Amino acid sequence: MTGFSSETARGAGAGPVDGRWFDAEAGPLVRPYAMTGGRTKPGPSGVRFDLIALVVVEPDGLDAAAESLLGPEHRALLALCRSETQSVAELSADADLPVGVVRVLLGDLLEAGHVRVSRPVPPAQLPDERILREVIEGLRAL
Amino acid sequence: MAAGEEPEQTALALKILVAGGFGVGKTTLVGAVSEIRPLRTEELLSEAGELVDDTGGVDQKTTTTVAMDFGRITIRSGLSLYLFGTPGQDRFWFLWDELSQGSLGAVVLADTRRLEDCFPAVDYFEHRHIPFVVAVNCFAGARTYGAHEVSQALDLERGTPVVLCDARDKDSGKEVLIRLVEYAGRVHTARLLDAVESRTGTV
């Protein structure tokens, strides 16, 4: 049900380092925003990550040493993005973290230059007709 | 792909909302057409507290969450469609605002045995000029109504498509989505024409 990624799972290398206690009834005893140091909004860049904004890892973003300095949740998100370009919604589901928490963590990664984030189509501006036709044909072919 | 192309640049994700009353089959529809098992994402209600006025006492609670189920359809590499089931309860309207931003359009699922459950969703999308289709989920045992009857009962704006469907069936769900994308394209083209006409009309 919960499906923590391997990076954040108990005993998977990270061990007790991330200091979480689990209880089958209560769920994680860590309040969600403890993972973000109490921050509830992404950093100064003021980016608002849409649920379908796509997150891509910068290939030369960081080396192993730099990555080891990141928290387990940051690393978990990076690992998920490396396997495949992911939307914010998918990252939230796969990492089993609330969207708000994922947004703060992604803000950190963005500011540090570890990831790039695509802008979704702005409101009131539909993709062009060619794309819509492609979508219709793609749906028919499913 | 030839060197020098920028596949990352063209990566595009589109969003379709699936709305309707509680238990009308939103997640079922998402699951029927999604290539992945519907995933669940949660939004913390404390964030909600920042967006609505009347949340006295709620803002300190960080453990309350609203779940949204969603699925994905990959059209091709770099073009995917995300389907979001909107939270059923009216008190989570604020989440709809975020969800509907930049969305291609919406599917309003209706059950003719309790048609009134989809009124709020119809109102919401009409007021915001978001293209939507009404998909009547034909539950077994429910009396079937024609699309025209449903359209009249909902007092839909002219042109809003009504489709009869079976939310469990992939092909049926595909048809609903195709109708929506076609309709969204038409609405968009009409708006562009209107904009051009009103501009030339004032000259």
The answer to whether residue B1 sits within a structural domain is: no
Question: Which residue, B75, B76, B86, B89, is CA-closest to B33?
Answer: B75
Measured between beta carbons, which residues in chain A are less than 8 angstroms from residue B181? Answer: 132, 135-136, 139
Q: Which residues of B touch A (CB under 8 A)?
A: 8, 11-15, 33, 39-44, 46-47, 62-63, 65, 68, 70, 72-73, 75-76, 79, 81-82, 84, 98-99, 101-102, 104, 170, 174, 177-178, 181-182, 184-185, 188-189
Range of B136's domain? 10-202
Of the ranges B87-101, B146-160, B175-189, which one carries the lowest mean pLDDT score?
B87-101
Return the half-sphere exposure (C-beta side, CA atoms, 13 A cut-off) of residue B123. Answer: 8
The answer to whether residue B48 sits within a structural domain is: yes
The answer to whether residue A7 sits within a structural domain is: no
Chain B interface includes A136 (CB < 8 A): yes
The answer to whether residue A2 sits within a structural domain is: no
Q: Is the dihedral of CA B43, B45, B46, B47 positive or negative?
A: positive
CB B163 within 8 A of CB B176: yes
What is the C-alpha to C-alpha distance for residues A14 and B182, in angstroms, rounded to an integer?
A: 49
Taking only the tens place, the pLDDT of each residue in B117-174 is 999 999 999 999 999 999 999 987 777 889 999 999 999 999 999 999 999 999 999 9
- Facing residue for A121 by CB, picked from B14, B40, B182: B14
Q: Which residue has the higher pLDDT, A41 or A141?
A: A141
Looking up residue B146, the CATH number of its domain turns out to be 3.40.50.300
Do the interacting molecules here have an ipTM over 0.85? no
Q: Do B184 and A140 touch (CB under 8 A)?
A: no
Total domains, chain B = 1
Measured between beta carbons, which residues in chain B are less than 8 angstroms from residue A90? Answer: 39, 72
On the question of pLDDT at B8 being above 60, the answer is no
Q: Using alpha carbons, list the distances in angstroms from residue A87 to A33, A116, B13, B33, B131.
A: 21, 12, 8, 18, 23
The answer to whether residue A4 sits within a structural domain is: no
Place of tokens 């964030």: B47
> Where does the pLDDT of residue B64 fall: very low under 50, low under 70, confident under 90, or very high at 90 and above?
low
Place of tokens 């002219």: B158
What is the C-alpha to C-alpha distance for residues B202 and B197, in angstroms, rounded to an integer?
A: 9
Return the half-sphere exposure (C-beta side, CA atoms, 13 A cut-off) of residue A41. Answer: 9
Q: Do A135 and B13 touch (CB under 8 A)?
A: no
Stated pTM of the model? 0.78
Q: Do A120 and B188 touch (CB under 8 A)?
A: no
The answer to whether residue B5 sits within a structural domain is: no
pLDDT at B56: 43
Range of A67's domain? 15-140
**Run of H or E including B27:** helix B26-33
Q: Using alpha carbons, list the distances in angstroms from residue A64 to A110, B46, B64, B125.
A: 17, 35, 36, 48
Total domains, chain A = 1
The answer to whether residue B146 sits within a structural domain is: yes
The answer to whether residue A78 sits within a structural domain is: yes
The answer to whether residue A6 sits within a structural domain is: no
The answer to whether residue A3 sits within a structural domain is: no
Chain B interface includes A56 (CB < 8 A): yes
Question: Which residue, A53, A11, A32, is CA-closest to A95?
Answer: A32
> Where does the pLDDT of residue B41 fall: very low under 50, low under 70, confident under 90, or very high at 90 and above?
confident
Q: For the residues A114-133, what does the mean pLDDT come to? A: 76
